[in-house]
Every structure is written in C-alpha cells, then in structure tokens.
A and B are shown apart, each in its own frame.
Chain A
C-alpha cells in the first residue's frame, strides 16, 4: 500500500493541481495512521483484558483431573469397592486398513486370546467407520497391538467402572451399564448422587465390611458347593443401627464381566426372593406371646403329644421329637410345630397380624436397593393361617426382613430400617418400639438355650456366646410341599449377652451328604457355616471371644426335662 502511495506521479504541471494532490495524500496518510493506531489500541486493550480477567487454566485443569466422573464406592473402612479408572480401549477403522486383514487378524488372535482369528477377521472386514476390538485392555496388550504397525488400529483411554474385588459384594454394588448409569444394586440406587458434580470427588461409604463380606462369601460358597444347593443367602446386620455389614446372594456374578451374567445370578436372593422361612418364625411368635401377656410363665406347658387336627389340616412334628407336654423353652429347643401352633392359636389372628405388621413383614424390605421383592402375605386368615404362620408357613418374606426381625428381637425390642450406607456413631435411626426390654432379654435367653441344648448346637462357637434358631421349611410347589426339597435357614445372634450382630445363613434346596447322615435340615448344613463365619468375623468386628462370660440361664435351665433318651432328641429334628 505504501508502495502504491509513494509511487512517483507523472508531472503534469500546474501548482494548484499539485497542492490538491498533496492534500489528498496527507489526508490518506492521516487515515492510515489512525487505522494503525486503532489496530494497536485494540491489541493493547485485548492484552490488558486477558491479563486482568483470565485466570491460569493449568491449575484448574490439574484439580479437575482428580475428580472422577463417577464417585467411588468404598466399604465402611474405606477399602475401594468400585472405582472409575481410565482404561485403554483398542478400536479399528476397518475401511482405512492398509495391511493384510487376514495377517492382522491372526496377530490379534495371538495377542488377545479371548477371541479367535475369525472373530477378529469379521471385525476388520466390517463395513463401518469404527468398531472396538477390545475394551478395557491391559497396557501391555496395547503396546503389543501397537507394534503390529497398522495405522487404522487406534487406541484411546476411556473411563471405565472397575470393581477391584471382582465378585465380592456383587449384589450390593451392582454394575454400570454402557450409558454410564447404574443398572443394579447401589450403583443404581445412588446413581444421581454418584454422578453429582459437586459431591462426586468424595467416595460414598457403604455399611459393608469387605473382610466380613469375604469371610461370609467364602464359607457360604464352600457350603453351597458341598451341599449342591440351588441358591444361598448370607447376611450380617448390626442390631443397634440396622447397618448391613455383609450381604451375599449366590449364585454370584462378576460385575467386571457383566455380559456373562445369567438372570439367576443377577437375582438378589436376600432382598428379591421371598421364602417361607419355617421354624425361624417361632421366636417371633414366642416374643408376641410374651409381649402380649398370652404366656406369662415360661413353665406353662402345651400339648405336643399328638398331631394337631384343625379342620382339614393336620400339623405334625418330626417323628424324633418328644411326644409330651412342652413348656416354652422346650418348644423352641425341640422346635415343636404343634406346641407353637397352639401358642399362636392362643395369641389369635389379631395378635399375629400385629407382630408381623410391627416387624414390617407386610411391605417390601426397607433398604436403599431397588431390587426388592414383595412378601407373600396370606390373602385370607383362617384359624389355620394363624397357626401355620406361627411356625413360618403360609407367609413368605425376604431373608433381609428375617435378619431385621431378629435384630429387633434382641436389641431391646426396637425396629429400625436396614441400611447399606454407613451410619456415623450415634446417628442410628430412632426406630419404632416393638417389644419391651424385658421381652427382648427373655428372647436372648431362649435363643441362647436353642444353641446350648437344641438344634443350634453346632453353631456354638466357643467364646462367642451364639444364640439362634434353625429353620427348615419345605419348598412350596404346585399343589403342596415338596418333601425332598427344603430351605435351610439359621438365624444367629452374637454375643447374646450383649447382642451386636445378627448372622443369617440360608441354603436353598441343599442335598444330603455322607457327613450329614442323610439329613438336609438346617442343623446339619447351615448351622456349621454360621459357626465358622462367626469365628472368622467376630474378631474383625471387635467381638473378642471370652470363655468366662455367658448369658444367665439359671431361671430357664431347671425347666428342661432331661429324661432318658431326651439328650439326642434335638439332633437334626427341626422343621
């Protein structure tokens, strides 16, 4: 431009003309000057603006890099149970492949042995712009695939949900689907909270204790394999806060490889499946009998000499049970259906309904999980219904509700909702009073007696003062009960002199083995599991075994009649 301006103009003569020309060029120069000035001023202003108002981007980025896309889930002691990591993924742009597809597929099959050559060849020949070869690949594999040298194969880092403990607490944690939202368990229940921008840097602490969970899973898994059971449930609950310290449902799935999971594995038997839990209901009936004043003396006897006929129904005891008049402790020790039915009959329909309502057996279990089953509440209450529900038939609830009912029985009689989130000390829910302290104390004595003298003898872990009740219920099939398939349950509480934890172990349809002498009842399969679990988890939970302590049974022991042959009456004889 300046060249154009400075170009020597041809002299045409005339001073006036020359003056005018000079004036024009001056004006042009001035305008140019102003333009340059404005340009510089704009740049200076912009620089000043940037200098004043822009904050350094680096520090913000550094802090942002630390915040995971989804909050971690940790156990009650802070051990990670679910984390979001940057995983390598290997993808390919099939249309842009330069090399020989067959050769690449062969190399890939060698490096990634989970699939064969034809699988990779199909991937490489697909007519799509992009497809994944392997997601969540190991860095070593990525390096080796990179060494193939095919430019169409690309690598990227993607956030992935990883469960470091693999199958541990699978039903509690659940998993995250491909859209990045929780699809099961706590991942689903807490989805919005886990994704919340403000709070996701802080991990969420569950009430689960990974070590306790591992002990429960290993012992229960071993028992399930031994007895070839169809399913198994294990629950450990803190009786004073309602926190679930361990909850397992078997068969299990691996949340890291969710596409292999079967519907059976995805079903949470602890909260979704409902079972008729059999004799484990008897202590609940007894508690109501004591609480309502139906039975005021532990020495009161009930006729169990012969089967009870009510209308069309007949209520039996096992042939091995003593056929005599049984008092309250004996009824529980020998687990007599007939005596319990008589007590339930005395309590009456309203009383039984009351205690079941107070224990929340009429609603889904109170827990954060969304996978919850509805209990089967009897549609019509006949006199027989009152009697059969007294010993746990005709009403079906989830194992979690049973755990909470036992917590209520022994913790002083206060029902609290169960929770899978850690409860800070002293922050437990106020709960609802169901039983009086005196009734609760009596229930502790009775439950301990079942373990000392009755069907729960194999659960008596030395020093841990275990109390509990077995239950073996036949599985209701179309048209009646199946004599050969049953649900064996053991509800344990320890240490019974100052209850801290409820332990529920349950096996669905266990088979008899040589070790159990043909028995499939709870006393032979789940009770020893509870014993081993308690011995393993007790010290972890701060319950130290003490041989010098136990609950005072001096007022109940004289009520037990130790006649000839009565010593082995309780062995395996539970329903």
Chain B
C-alpha cells in the first residue's frame, strides 16, 4: 500500500517533470525562433542601411552636374526637338511612307476605298469571322482581290490594316483577301498568333499546378 502510494507520488512527480520539461522545450524552441527572427531583422536593417548608403554614394557620384559634364564632353546629347515627337499613331505611320528604294508604299485603306464603320462585339477576328464578313460583302473582297499584286509584293500594308483595332470587319476582310491571294501572309498570321499565345503554353494550368505541388513538397520536407 505504502509502496504503491509512494510509486504513485513518484509517478506524479515524473509526469510533472515531463510536463514541465515539455513546456520548457516549447518555450526554448520559441526563443530560438525569436532569436533567429531577430537575427534576420538585424540583417535586414543592415542591408537597408547598406542600400541607403550605396544609393547615396551612387547619387553623389552620378549627380546631375556630373552627368551634364559627361554629356558636354562625350555624349553631346541635346533635348529632342518638336519634330521628333509623335502625337498620334497616324503620324507614326506616315513616317515610313517614303520607301527606301523609291517604291511607293500604299496603305490598305487605299485598297478598300469605303466601308461603313460597323462596331462588332468580337474583336478577335479569326479566320471564321473573316470568312463570314467576306461572304457578307463580296464587293469589297472583289476590290481587294482585284489587286493581288499589291497584296503579294507588299505584305506590310496588310500589317497596317490588321494593326487597326477599330475597323474590325475591314481588317478581317483584308485578312481574308490576303489569305486567298497570298498563303504566306496567312502563315505569318498563324505564327504571330502562336507567338502571342506563347506565354499561355509556358504557364499553363498544368505547369502552375506542378509548381504548386513541388513547393508544397519542399515546405513539408523543411519542417
């Protein structure tokens, strides 16, 4: 009886000791983590200070008077003149109107003289839409197709038309016409689209999922 009583006491003591030790270990763990955090914080503060002093040094060495001196000695750059500014895309396009080899560059708007501006909700302008539009207005396609030489020799003008976001049916028609008269431009269009979708392929849902699961596995292994 007394033995069990004593053992019981001992058991309680052991439990108390284990519990206290456990608590102590937890608090120890916490303090270690806190210390690490402090260390990191101190490192951050040091890095911030370093960044600040380096920034100061950089801005002192590269002060505007110094840049001006270098510009005067070596670069001799001057402020852009009014003629060097473009106020609109139209102005930009008109810059290239003089072709280098003397050939006359014609705009796509020249090929299709007039077209009522129709606002279409779908701005994608893929091949099917283009075909639809083409069948709806055969006259314009005829006009466009009547001059296949232009479409073939100057694919650039097709680009000009397709670059216009506002006139969708127009762009589509020109694309359709170009597809019929010159296969090469259609191929380039497909290539363009492939380029445009490149980021989708690179960062598809599957790839992102892979990345996520890998990240999860890594954090689990670190614990």
Contacts and interface: CB of A to CB of B under 8 A. Distances in A.
Interface in B34-77: 34, 37-38, 41-42, 44-45, 48-49, 52-53, 55-56, 59-60, 63-65, 68
Given A56-B38, A535-B81, A66 B49 contact: yes
B80 interface: yes
A246 B38 CA distance: 44
B82 interface: yes
Interface in B86-105: 87
B79 interface: yes
A546 B87 contact: yes
Interface stretch (A124-132, A160-168, A181-189): A160-168
Interface size class of A (residues with CB under 8 A): 35 or more
Interface residues of B, number: 26
A431 interface: no
B85 interface: yes
A501 interface: no
Contacts of A211: 64
A165 B38 contact: no
A162 B79 contact: no
Contacts of B64: 165, 168, 210-211, 213-214
Contacts of A218: 65, 68
Interface string A206-225: 00001101100110000000
Interface stretch (A77-85, A102-110, A308-316): A77-85
Contact of A62 (B38, B55, B59, B65): B38
B60 A63 contact: no
A59 B82 CA distance: 55
B65 A85 contact: no
B8 to A, nearest CB: 29
A255 B53 CA distance: 19
Contacts of A536: 79
Contacts of B49: 65-66
Given A66-B48, A85-B53, A544 B87 contact: yes
Contacts, number: 82
Interface centre among B49, B52, B56, B79 (most CB of A within 10 A): B79
A172 to B, nearest CB: 14
Contacts of A23: none
A138 to B, nearest CB: 10
Contacts of B37: 59
B42 A62 contact: yes
Contacts of A56: 34, 38
Contacts of B42: 58-59, 61-62
A168 B45 contact: no
A83 B56 contact: yes
A358 B34 CA distance: 64
A462 B81 contact: yes
A211 B59 CA distance: 13
Contacts of B41: 58-59, 62-63
B73 to A, nearest CB: 13
Given A62-B44, A165-B64, A535-B79, A546 B53 contact: no
Nearest to A162: B56
Nearest to B55: A80
A520 to B, nearest CB: 26
A548 B85 CA distance: 12
Nearest to A86: B53
B50 to A, nearest CB: 11
A548 B45 contact: no
B45 A462 contact: no
Contacts of B45: 62-63, 65-66
Nearest to A462: B82
A130 B82 CA distance: 62
A147 interface: no
Contacts of B63: 164-166, 168
B71 to A, nearest CB: 9
A117 to B, nearest CB: 29
A226 to B, nearest CB: 15
A166 B44 CA distance: 30
Contacts of A214: 64-65, 68
A159 interface: no
Contact of A544 (B52, B59, B85): B85
Nearest to B43: A62
A164 B38 contact: no
A210 B68 CA distance: 13
Contact of B85 (A83, A217, A546): A546
A463 interface: yes
Nearest to A168: B64
Interface in A459-495: 461-464
A258 B179 CA distance: 74
A547 B83 CA distance: 8
Interface in A39-86: 56, 58-59, 61-63, 65-66, 79-80, 83, 85-86
Nearest to A463: B82
Nearest to A217: B65
A535 B80 CA distance: 8
Contacts of A61: 42
A86 B49 CA distance: 10
A58 B82 contact: no
Contacts of A217: 65
A99 interface: no
Contacts of A91: none
Contacts of A65: 45, 49
Contacts of B34: 56
B39 to A, nearest CB: 8
Contacts of A348: none
B79 A166 contact: no
A539 interface: yes
Contacts of A351: none
12 contacts: A58-B38, A63-B45, A65-B49, A85-B53, A165-B63, A168-B65, A210-B64, A214-B65, A218-B65, A218-B68, A463-B82, A548-B87
Given A62-B38, A85-B56, A546-B87, 19 more contacts: A58-B42, A59-B38, A62-B44, A66-B49, A80-B59, A85-B53, A162-B60, A165-B59, A165-B64, A165-B65, A166-B63, A210-B64, A214-B65, A217-B65, A461-B82, A463-B82, A544-B85, A545-B82, A547-B82
The 6 closest A-B pairs by CB, nearest first: A463-B82, A545-B82, A214-B64, A62-B45, A164-B60, A164-B59
